[in-house]
Amino acid sequence: MNDDEKDVLRLRLYVAGDAPNSVVAVAHLRSVIEECASGRADVEIVDILRDPERGLRDGVFVTPMLVKFEPLPERRVLGSLGDRRFLLAVLGLNETPGE
């Protein structure tokens, strides 16, 4: 667990400009990272409207899409990331009420 906690989360969120689901997804991700993985996450946000090639290269055809590259295994979550419990599970984080 400690190892896990020390592992840096390398995340990339593909969004479509400021389309509504994309905006919500950014907000949800930001709040989860700040609350449960503060300082341990490397989050890159890619706007596929500006850089479509990036998405294609990563095999991302539908946005908004969150891809967890590290730690392995790679996981992908589609949508506005409203299901917090599922998101924590995918990211391997615990709810830390007393931060």
Partner 1 sequence: MSEIEDLRQGNDTLRRRNEKLLHQLADAQQALEAVARGEVDAVTDKASATPLLVHEAQERLRAGQRTAQRALVEAEERFRLVFEGASVGLLMVNPAGRIVLANTRVETMFGYSQEEIVGEFIETLIPLRFRDHPQYREGFAADPRGRAMGEGKDLSGLRKDGSEVDIEISLSPITTSEGAFVLGSVVDISERKRAEVAQQQIVAVVEFATDAILTRSLDGVVRSWNPGATSLLGYRADEMVGHTADRIVPEDRIEEQSRALAQIQAGKQVLPFETVRRRKDGSLVEVSITYSPIRDRHDGVVAASIIMRDITESNRTRRERIRLVKQLQDLNADLEDRVRSRTAELSKTLQERESLLREKTSLLQEVHHRVKNNLQMISSLLSLQARRIDDPETRAFFLESQGHVRSIALLHESLYQSKDLGRVDMQDYVDKLVTTLKRTYEQGAHIITEIDQVRLPADLAVPCGLIINELITNALKHAFAAYRDAGENQIRIEIRRVDDDLELVVADNGTGFASPFDPARTETMGLTLIRDLSAQVRGRAEFGSANGARCTVRFPAPEEGTRS
Binding residues vs partner 1 (CB under 8 A) = 15-17, 19-22, 25, 48-49, 52-53, 55-56, 60-64, 73, 75-80, 82-83, 86, 90
CB nearer to partner 1: give 37 or 67.
Answer: 67
What SS3 class is residue 1? Answer: coil
Q: What are 47's strand-pairing partners?
A: 15
- C-beta closer to partner 1: residue 43 or 90: 90
Based on CB atoms, which residue is closest to partner 1, 41 or 47?
Answer: 47
CB of 74 to partner 1, least distance (A): 9
Show the tokens assigned to 36: 């449960």
Query: Which residues are CB-neighbours of 5 under 8 A, at least 6 positions away?
Result: 40
Count Cβ atoms below 10 Å from residue 47 Cβ, excluding itself: 18
Q: Which is nearer to partner 1, 10 or 75 (CB)?
A: 75
For the beta carbon of residue 59, count every other beta carbon within 10 angstroms: 9
Residue 31 C-beta: closest distance to partner 1, Å: 17
